[in-house]
Amino acid sequence: MRKWFVAALVVISSGISSFAAITPDVIVFNATVRTMDPKQPHAQAIAIYGNKIVSVGDNPTILRMAGANTRKIDAQKKLVLPGFNDSHVHFMDGGFSLSNVDLRDAKTPEEFAKRIGDFARKQPKGRWIVEGGWDHEKWPGTPLPTKEMIDAVTPDHPVFVNRTDGHMALANSLAMKLAGISSEMKDPPGGSIVRDAKGEPTGVFKDAAMDPIWKVIPAKSFEEKVEAARAGSQYAASLGVTSVQDMSAGTDLSVYQYLLERGELKTRIYAVRSILSWETLQRTGVRAPFGNDMLRIGGLKGFADGSLGSTTALFFEPYNDEPTTRGLLGDQMQPEGIMLKRTLGADKVGLQVMIHAIGDEANKQVLDIFKQAAELNGERKRRFRIEHAQHLRPSEIVRFGSQKVVPSMQPYHAIDDGRWCDRRIGAERSKGTYPFRSLLDSGAILAFGTDWTVAPLDPMISVYAAVTRRTLDGKHPDGWVPEEKITVEEAVRCYTVNSAYAEFAENVKGTIAPGKLADIVILDKNIFEIDPVEIENAKVVLTLLDGKVVYEK
């Protein structure tokens, strides 16, 4: 402890870029280091003491620091980066998804139904079948599923499987019966029940209409949550994801604490709660961010609308393929003015507000709310965020920079939704879809994540998506809306430095620099040198968290 304290004083007082007096616990050498630190962009080796980086430099200089007990990790000239920080996940859902039915790549309604039936046969009678992540846009003719597709194969299991975006889900007849769903039930504010020609519910429920069914699904036990979180943390480590910002932490903080106390948490977590609970958090006196380097709170998430895939994202103009609707204004935005009131209250006491907005009108409304809140509450270190910021008009793009609002975006969605987005909203509106280049040019600090489990957690797929914008169907080899591509350097920065900024953590992580947390990832390919189309195939060789190996291939 004394050596650390003395070295820290030397660095603080002199501004030098190493902790030369320390004998490192770990040295990573013979590496191609991209630090993301503009003061020292490249290096060959890194020295670690405790859980901090103490020196970054060339091989001879760093290796001379080694002692008899220093562990030396030969990177074999492979690429070394700061650990990835996913700015938008649903971590507990992700953990559970690792053992749930997987419908993501089901290519037909028949395959969709078969997978559910096969999974059901392995489950005890009465157990709910949830999650899934189906995508009807992959099916011929893109029909929405119906309860009739799965009733015969799930007579003893209530089913409520969600579309990949989480804004629409299919229930079987048993689940609807348990929830008391009938044809007389009206659409709630911010939700929609899909009906057939006779007015009967088909089994598909959108946004707020899903709530009655969610309420009858038995809550997971603490032990089940611990297992899911443990699995999710190990999976994140295998992908080089050392930090996540959990957008649906809810009451799961105790689960993360449990794992942390036992040394089993391999992921730093910024736990975000619903903005509906802001007054509860306010009464504790907590301000953002509160906690330690492993587990913190202080963020509040709200919803302004739904999703493009569910036609519930709110636009100024109707959908091209469903002209009877412009989408849905989220129930949290109703009655008018309520989201501004919540934002004002939360921001005033120092909590961080981040609001989901997909459609262009939803984004405009949220930017207006943030502008009013900043004007009324005055200057402070607030870092408002819009989660997804998916469809933007030019007039709103520039506001992210001028208002200093963080766009928290998920590049994978661009190459996924890009398969069918033009059909849904037209090519002209599609030009403002995930405008990475334009947002960076506006001066916005763009943070990257995945929305796991909505999209894969692997950062390599997201970097590939941001750099190439090649849609999953292979129909845009030069990129969909190619003018919005960004460089590999920019994409990695969005996934490290900028994601750290988005959670008030840029002073402790996001770069490989002396004094920063020793969160480091080694990749098997140098993504800065290979053909960008190969980036998605890069794999993690080693992940360090707090200077300790948490994953090794």
pLDDT band of 15, cuts 50, 70, 90: very low
What single string gives the DSSP state of each residue in 221-283? PHHHHHHHHHHHHHHHHHTTEEEEEETT-TTTHHHHHHHHHTT---SEEEEEEEGGGHHHHHH
- pTM tops 0.75: yes
pLDDT in tens, 423-454: 999 999 999 999 999 999 999 999 999 999 99
Mean pLDDT in residue range 355-383: 97
pLDDT in tens, 255-283: 999 999 999 999 999 999 999 999 999 99
pLDDT band of 251, cuts 50, 70, 90: confident
| pLDDT value for 20 | 52
| pLDDT value for 22 | 84
pLDDT band of 334, cuts 50, 70, 90: very high
Per cent of the chain over pLDDT 70 is: 96
Instruction: Specify the amino acid at residue 95.
Output: G
Angle at 429 between CA 424 and CA 432, to 5 degrees: 120
Per cent of the chain over pLDDT 90 is: 89
| pLDDT value for 5 | 40
Mean pLDDT in residue range 184-196: 92
| pLDDT value for 213 | 95
| pLDDT value for 14 | 32
End-to-end CA distance of the chain: 32
DSSP H/E element including 407:
strand 406-409
User: Mean pLDDT lowest for which of 10-19, 172-181, 403-412?
Assistant: 10-19
| pLDDT value for 101 | 87
Record the tokens describing residue 523, joined without a space.
């990749």
| pLDDT value for 277 | 92
pLDDT in tens, 307-316: 999 999 999 9
* Res. 520: pLDDT tops 90: yes
**Pairing, β 79-82 against β 520-523:** antiparallel
* Res. 11: pLDDT tops 80: no
* Res. 64: pLDDT tops 80: yes
| pLDDT value for 100 | 86
| pLDDT value for 10 | 36
3-state secondary structure of 409: strand
| pLDDT value for 344 | 97
Rounded to whole angstroms, the Cα distance separating 306 from 167 reads: 6
| pLDDT value for 7 | 45
Record the tokens describing residue 93, joined without a space.
């859902």
Rounded to whole angstroms, the Cα distance separating 342 from 40 reads: 42
* Res. 354: pLDDT tops 90: yes
Rounded to whole angstroms, the Cα distance separating 252 from 259 reads: 11
* Res. 18: pLDDT tops 70: no
56 near 43, Cβ under 8 Å?
yes
| pLDDT value for 166 | 86
* Res. 2: pLDDT tops 90: no
pLDDT band of 6, cuts 50, 70, 90: very low
Q: Give the chain's mean pLDDT.
A: 94
* Res. 371: pLDDT tops 70: yes
| Better-scored residue on pLDDT, 242 or 220 | 242
| pLDDT value for 16 | 40
Rounded to whole angstroms, the Cα distance separating 258 from 360 reads: 41
| CA dist list (Å): 108 to 103, 114, 205, 373 | 10, 10, 20, 47
- Give Cβ neighbours of residue 251 (< 8 Å, ≥ 6 apart): none
| Better-scored residue on pLDDT, 243 or 2 | 243
Domains of the chain: 1-83+510-553 (2.30.40.10), 100-214 (3.10.310.70)
Instruction: Report the sign of the C-alpha dihedral through residues 474, 478, 481, 484, in that order.
Output: positive
* Res. 546: pLDDT tops 70: yes
pLDDT in tens, 98-148: 988 889 889 999 999 999 999 899 988 998 999 888 999 989 998 999 999
314 near 334, Cβ under 8 Å?
no
